[in-house]
A and B are shown apart, each in its own frame.
Chain A
Amino acid sequence: MDIERLKTDILILGAGGAGLFAALHALKADPDLDVTVVAKGLLGKCGCTRMVQGGYNVALNPGDSVERHFMDTIEGGKWLPHQELAWTLVTRAIERVQELENEIGCFFDRNPDGTLHGKAFAGQTFDRTVHKGDLTGIEIINRLMEQVWARPIRRLEEHRAVALIPANDGALSGVLLIDVRSGEFRFIAAQAVLLATGGGPTMYRYHTPSGDKSMDGLAMALRYGLPLRDMEMVQFHPTGLLAGPDTRMTGTVLEEGLRGSGGHLLNGAMQRFMGDYDPKLERATRDVVSRAIYAEMRAGRTTRNGGVYIKMSHLGPARVAKEFKGMVDRCRDCGFDLAGGLVEVVPTAHYFMGGVVCRVDTATERHGLFVAGEDASGMHGANRLGGNGVANSTVFGGIAGDTMPRWIAANPGHREPDHHVLDAELARAQHPFGQAPGDLNALREKLLDCMWHDVGVVRDRSSVERGLKALDGIEAELLATGVADSDRRFDLTWHDWLNLRSLTEISRVIALAALKRENSRGAHFRSDFPEPGELATSTFTVARQGANGVNISASPVQFTHVKPGETLIRDALAAE
Chain B
Amino acid sequence: MPAELSVALWRGAEDGRYETYRVPRRESQTVLDVVSFVQRHIDPTLSYRFACRVGVCGSCAMTVNGKPRWTCRTHVAKVAGDGRLEIGPLENLPVIKDLATDMQAFFEKWQRAKGVFEPSRTRLDAIEEIRPDSPARRAADAAIECINCGVCYAACDTVRWNRDYLGPAALTRAWTLVNDERDAGVAARLQAVAAAGGCHACHSHQSCQELCPQALNPTAAIAGLKRRTLAAYLKGEIEP
A-to-B contact residues, CB < 8 Å: 41-43, 45-47, 50-51, 60, 95-99, 101-105, 107-116, 132-133, 135, 137-139, 142-143, 146-147, 149-150, 181, 210-212, 243-244, 246-250, 252, 330, 333-335, 437, 440-441, 483-484, 486-487, 489-493
Would you call B47 an interface residue if the criterion is a C-beta within 8 Å of the partner chain's C-beta atoms? Answer: yes
Kindly list chain B residues whose C-beta atoms are within 8 Å of the C-beta of A50.
Answer: 51-52, 56-57
In the complex, A41 Cα to B50 Cα: how many Å?
8
Kindly list chain A residues whose C-beta atoms are within 8 Å of the C-beta of B126.
Answer: 98
Would you call B238 an interface residue if the criterion is a C-beta within 8 Å of the partner chain's C-beta atoms? Answer: no
Would you call B140 an interface residue if the criterion is a C-beta within 8 Å of the partner chain's C-beta atoms? Answer: yes
Of the candidates A96, A108, A149, the one having the most CB atoms from chain B within 10 angstroms of its own CB is A149
B127 touches A492 (CB 8 A): no
Q: Identify B147's interface contact among A99, A113, A138, A143, CB under 8 A.
A: A138
Would you call B55 an interface residue if the criterion is a C-beta within 8 Å of the partner chain's C-beta atoms? Answer: yes
A335 touching B48 in the complex, CB below 8 Å, given contacts A51-B54, A95-B124, A441-B41: no
B117 touches A335 (CB 8 A): no
Kindly list chain A residues whose C-beta atoms are within 8 Å of the C-beta of B111.
Answer: 146, 149-150
Q: Give, as a whole number of angstroms, the nearest-CB distance from B193 to chain A.
A: 15
Q: Which one of B30-38, B154-162, B204-212 is at the interface?
A: B30-38
In the complex, A150 Cα to B177 Cα: how many Å?
15
Q: State the 9 A-B residue pairs at the shortest beta-carbon distance, nearest first.
A: A105-B117, A114-B129, A99-B123, A490-B47, A493-B44, A243-B28, A102-B121, A146-B116, A248-B53
In the complex, A110 Cα to B132 Cα: how many Å?
6
Q: Identify A45's interface contact among B57, B73, B115, CB under 8 A.
A: B57
Interface set, chain B 85-111, CB cutoff 8 A to A: 96-98, 100, 103, 107, 110-111
Would you call B39 an interface residue if the criterion is a C-beta within 8 Å of the partner chain's C-beta atoms? Answer: yes
Kindly list chain A residues whose C-beta atoms are within 8 Å of the C-beta of B49.
Answer: 41-42
Would you call B148 an interface residue if the criterion is a C-beta within 8 Å of the partner chain's C-beta atoms? Answer: yes
- 18 extra interchain contacts, Cβ-Cβ under 8 A, other than A50-B57, A99-B123? A45-B51, A105-B117, A105-B180, A105-B182, A107-B144, A109-B132, A111-B132, A112-B132, A133-B145, A138-B146, A146-B111, A210-B52, A247-B28, A333-B55, A334-B28, A440-B40, A441-B41, A490-B98
Q: Give, as a whole number of angstroms, the nearest-CB distance from B1 to chain A.
A: 11
A330 touching B55 in the complex, CB below 8 Å, given contacts A98-B123, A247-B33, A335-B28: yes
B144 touches A247 (CB 8 A): no
Question: What does the 1/0 interface line of B135-146 toward A look like (CB < 8 Å)?
Answer: 001001000111
A142 touches B131 (CB 8 A): no
A47 touching B130 in the complex, CB below 8 Å, given contacts A246-B29, A489-B97: no
B53 touches A249 (CB 8 A): yes
Kindly list chain B residues whose C-beta atoms are within 8 Å of the C-beta of A97.
Answer: 127
Would you call B200 an interface residue if the criterion is a C-beta within 8 Å of the partner chain's C-beta atoms? Answer: no
B148 touches A142 (CB 8 A): yes
Would you call B59 an interface residue if the criterion is a C-beta within 8 Å of the partner chain's C-beta atoms? Answer: yes
A211 touching B107 in the complex, CB below 8 Å, given contacts A98-B124, A103-B119, A110-B130: no
Would you call B46 an interface residue if the criterion is a C-beta within 8 Å of the partner chain's C-beta atoms? Answer: yes
B53 touches A112 (CB 8 A): no
In the complex, A143 Cα to B75 Cα: how many Å?
30
Q: Give, as a whole number of angstroms, the nearest-CB distance from A238 to chain B.
A: 17
In the complex, A248 Cα to B55 Cα: how many Å?
12
Would you call B239 an interface residue if the criterion is a C-beta within 8 Å of the partner chain's C-beta atoms? Answer: no
Kindly list chain A residues whose C-beta atoms are within 8 Å of the C-beta of B39.
Answer: 492-493
B52 touches A491 (CB 8 A): no
Kindly list chain A residues whose C-beta atoms are within 8 Å of the C-beta of B59.
Answer: 41-42, 45-46
Would you call B202 an interface residue if the criterion is a C-beta within 8 Å of the partner chain's C-beta atoms? Answer: no
In the complex, A487 Cα to B33 Cα: how many Å?
23
A102 touching B182 in the complex, CB below 8 Å, given contacts A139-B144, A210-B52: yes
Would you call B6 an interface residue if the criterion is a C-beta within 8 Å of the partner chain's C-beta atoms? Answer: no
In the complex, A149 Cα to B73 Cα: how many Å?
28
Q: Give, as a whole number of angstroms, the nearest-CB distance from A293 to chain B.
A: 20
Kindly list chain B residues whose C-beta atoms are within 8 Å of the C-beta of A95.
Answer: 123-124
A211 touches B180 (CB 8 A): no
Q: Identify B127's interface contact among A47, A98, A484, CB under 8 A.
A: A98
Closest to A143 in B: B117
A247 touches B117 (CB 8 A): no
Q: Identify B54's interface contact among A45, A105, A252, A487, CB under 8 A.
A: A252
A101 touches B57 (CB 8 A): no
In the complex, A210 Cα to B72 Cα: how many Å?
12
In the complex, A97 Cα to B48 Cα: how many Å?
35
Of the candidates B26, B54, B116, the one having the most CB atoms from chain A within 10 angstroms of its own CB is B54
B122 touches A335 (CB 8 A): no
A142 touches B121 (CB 8 A): no
Would you call B133 an interface residue if the criterion is a C-beta within 8 Å of the partner chain's C-beta atoms? Answer: yes
Give 20 A-B contacts (CB < 8 Å), ordered by A residue. A42-B49, A46-B57, A51-B56, A95-B123, A105-B116, A110-B130, A110-B137, A138-B145, A138-B147, A142-B146, A146-B111, A210-B53, A246-B26, A248-B50, A248-B72, A333-B75, A441-B40, A487-B45, A490-B98, A491-B45
B123 touches A492 (CB 8 A): no
Kindly list chain A residues whose C-beta atoms are within 8 Å of the C-beta of B51.
Answer: 41, 45-47, 50, 210-212
In the complex, A131 Cα to B189 Cα: how many Å?
27
A112 touching B131 in the complex, CB below 8 Å, given contacts A249-B30, A335-B28: yes
A244 touching B145 in the complex, CB below 8 Å, given contacts A115-B129, A492-B39, A493-B45: no
In the complex, A133 Cα to B50 Cα: how many Å?
24
Closest to B59 in A: A45
Q: Identify B33's interface contact among A45, A98, A246, CB under 8 A.
A: A246
Kindly list chain B residues whose C-beta atoms are within 8 Å of the C-beta of A181.
Answer: 96-97
In the complex, A143 Cα to B51 Cα: how many Å?
19
Kindly list chain B residues whose C-beta atoms are within 8 Å of the C-beta of A132.
Answer: 144
Q: Identify A60's interface contact among B122, B123, B127, CB under 8 A.
A: B127
A490 touches B56 (CB 8 A): no
Q: Identify B57's interface contact among A210, A244, A437, A490, CB under 8 A.
A: A210
B144 touches A149 (CB 8 A): no
Q: Give, as a whole number of angstroms, the nearest-CB distance from B215 to chain A.
A: 9
Kindly list chain A residues whose C-beta atoms are within 8 Å of the C-beta of B19.
Answer: none
Q: Give, as a whole number of angstroms, the nearest-CB distance from B143 to chain A.
A: 9
Kindly list chain B residues whose C-beta atoms are within 8 Å of the C-beta of A248.
Answer: 30, 32-33, 36, 50, 53, 72
Kindly list chain A residues whose C-beta atoms are within 8 Å of the C-beta of B123.
Answer: 95-96, 98-99, 102-103
In the complex, A98 Cα to B128 Cα: how many Å?
9
Would you call B74 an interface residue if the criterion is a C-beta within 8 Å of the partner chain's C-beta atoms? Answer: yes
Kindly list chain B residues whose C-beta atoms are within 8 Å of the C-beta of A246.
Answer: 26, 28-29, 33, 37
Kindly list chain B residues whose C-beta atoms are within 8 Å of the C-beta of A252.
Answer: 53-54
Kindly list chain B residues whose C-beta atoms are within 8 Å of the C-beta of A99.
Answer: 122-123
Closest to B58 in A: A45
Kindly list chain B residues whose C-beta atoms are within 8 Å of the C-beta of A113.
Answer: 129, 131
In the complex, A521 Cα to B59 Cα: how many Å?
37
Kindly list chain A residues whose C-beta atoms are within 8 Å of the C-beta of B146.
Answer: 138, 142
Kindly list chain B residues whose C-beta atoms are within 8 Å of the C-beta of A249.
Answer: 28, 30, 33, 53-54, 72
In the complex, A113 Cα to B127 Cα: how many Å?
13
Interface set, chain B 160-191, CB cutoff 8 A to A: 173, 177, 180, 182-183
Q: Give, as a whole number of angstroms, the nearest-CB distance from A211 to chain B.
A: 6
Q: Give, as a whole number of angstroms, the nearest-CB distance from A456 to chain B.
A: 21
